[in-house]
């Protein structure tokens, strides 16, 4: 079973499209629930209606990898939001969902590709993070039906 630990939305891009320039200053908002709109994304997020058939309508990140990186880099002052992924999960190898339709809380998704880490990760979380995340940077997915995702109770 896939558990949702956190859901994050941002009204603008801090890193995407900022290569060679300073990062943006848009907040990353932690929400308890979010509306998923088929073919469009998460209502209120920076990638909502970004472009037709976009493979990153929603992004997922594994909370266990966050825990591992906190230990590896002795980081205690960064939240999982540092990775700028929408949904922090537990209970599934996200790479196993690439090319697969899956469902969470009644919402269906198509896993499209890994969320490849970029050099911004070294700034956002700590030096060496980009390299440590290669092959496990999260999952980009399309939303196949409308619905609501909610953070699971602890």
Grouped pLDDT means (10 residues each) for the chain, 154 residues = 95 56 70 98 93 94 97 95 94 97 98 90 91 96 98 90
Measured distance CA(106)–CA(8) in Å, rounded: 19
Is pTM beyond 0.85 here? yes
DSSP per-residue codes, 28-54: -EEESEEEEETTTEETTSTTTT-STT-
Q: Which of 68, 56, 61, 64 is nearest to 84 (CA)?
A: 61
Q: What is the pLDDT of residue 18?
A: 45
Measured distance CA(148)–CA(154) in Å, rounded: 18
Which stretches within 9-111 are classed as H helix? Answer: 63-72
Q: Which of 21, 7, 40 is nearest to 119 (CA)?
A: 21
Contact assessment for residue 149 and residue 33, using Cβ atoms and an 8 Å cutoff? yes
């Amino acid at each position: 079973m896939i558990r949702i630990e956190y859901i994050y939305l941002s009204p603008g891009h801090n890193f995407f499209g900022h290569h060679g320039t300073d990062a943006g200053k848009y907040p990353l908002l932690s929400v308890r629930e979010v509306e998923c709109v088929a073919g469009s994304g998460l209502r209120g997020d920076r990638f909502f209606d970004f472009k037709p058939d976009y493979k990153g309508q929603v992004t997922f990140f594994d909370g266990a990898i966050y825990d591992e990186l906190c230990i590896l880099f002795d980081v205690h002052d960064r939240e999982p939001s540092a990775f700028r992924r929408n949904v922090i999960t537990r209970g599934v190898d996200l790479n196993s969902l690439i090319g697969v339709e899956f469902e969470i809380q009644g919402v269906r998704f198509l896993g499209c590709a890994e969320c490849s880490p970029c050099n911004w990760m070294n700034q956002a979380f700590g030096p060496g993070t980009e390299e440590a995340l290669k092959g496990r940077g999260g999952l980009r997915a399309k939303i196949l039906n409308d619905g609501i995702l909610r953070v699971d109770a602890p």
